[in-house]
Amino acid sequence: MINAARLQDEFLELASIASPSKREGTIARRLESILKGMGATVEVDGAGERVGGDTGNLLARFPGNTPGAPPFLLSGHMDTVGPAEAVHPVVEGDVVRTDGTSVLGGDDKAGVVAILEAIRVLRERAIPHGDIEVVLTICEEYGLLGAKHFDTGRLRAKRGLVLDVDGVCELITRAPAANRLTFTVHGLAAHAGICPEQGMSAIQIASVAIAAMKLGRLDAETTANLGVIQGGLAGNIVPAAVTVRGETRSLSVAKARGPDRAHAALLRRGGGPPRGAGG
């Protein structure tokens, strides 16, 4: 039923097209051409302008072949994480991998080609189905920005699948709420080789605070992570400021948003603020 060679060839083609978040224009144009060639009508919305990207979300519609059958939605995302400026997939038997210089982009181009192949099979084998709506979004990796700026009122389907998960036997029916975290620690600049005692290292202060945080998995529903730390001007200057960015995620909205329990669980293991942390 599935044309494995066609599936692989299409995945290799799409994976080879660089499509970092906010720069999905090239792959969007290629997918628009593929979808139209399959018989769909395709629209591009204005989400790209709203998020500072070079294209919007794609909405494709395929007519059904069974009157009265309900419409169905299939969705995935076009962007990938980096590094992905030049992607060179390597095929080893049934395995496709990256050459080690970039990501592969299986997230989510594997989902996109699965959608395309499924529709081809439905139509080639004349399997009964209602109208099919396909939404391919931008900026998923930046926090579902494309989906957030998509007008769901344009959809007729009340049911659908989003193909964006590992494995073929797993169905996810809920997703975590997320809160982004950014804080700046201020210290006092000084020359590190002449008078370091006159300075106060923002990096050292931040490191004390971070060491006291409970990160990783907080409980069965909740995780916390600090992913970026930026600060300092030079190796011989006591840093005056450092900025830290991270996030918390939880299947419980209360835990993700709660100013007491969730915040306290993220910032410290117990007691008060970490000693030595100031600024």
Write the pLDDT tens digit of every residue in 57-74: 999 999 999 999 999 999
How much of the chain exceeds pLDDT 90, in percent?
81
Q: What is the 3-state secondary structure (H, E, C) of 129-153?
A: CCCEEEEEECCHHHCCHHHHCCCHH
Q: Which stretches of the chain drop beneath a pLDDT of 50?
A: 261-263, 266-279
CATH fold of 177-267: Alpha-Beta Plaits (3.30.70)
Q: Which CATH class is domain 4-162?
A: alpha beta
Q: List active site positions.
A: 79, 140
Shortest CA distance to 137 belongs to which of 198, 66, 59?
59
Task: Report pLDDT digits (tens) over 35-55.
Answer: 999 999 999 999 999 999 999
pLDDT of residue 232: 94
Domain spans of the chain, in order of start: 4-162, 177-267
Q: Do domains 4-162 and 177-267 have the same CATH topology?
A: no
Q: The pTM is what?
A: 0.72
pLDDT digits (tens, 9 = 90+) for 67-109: 999 999 999 999 999 998 899 999 999 899 999 999 999 999 9
Q: Which residues of 235-249 are buried (b: 16+ CB within 10 A; e: fewer)?
A: eebbbbbbebebbbb
The reported pLDDT for the residue numbered 1 is 81
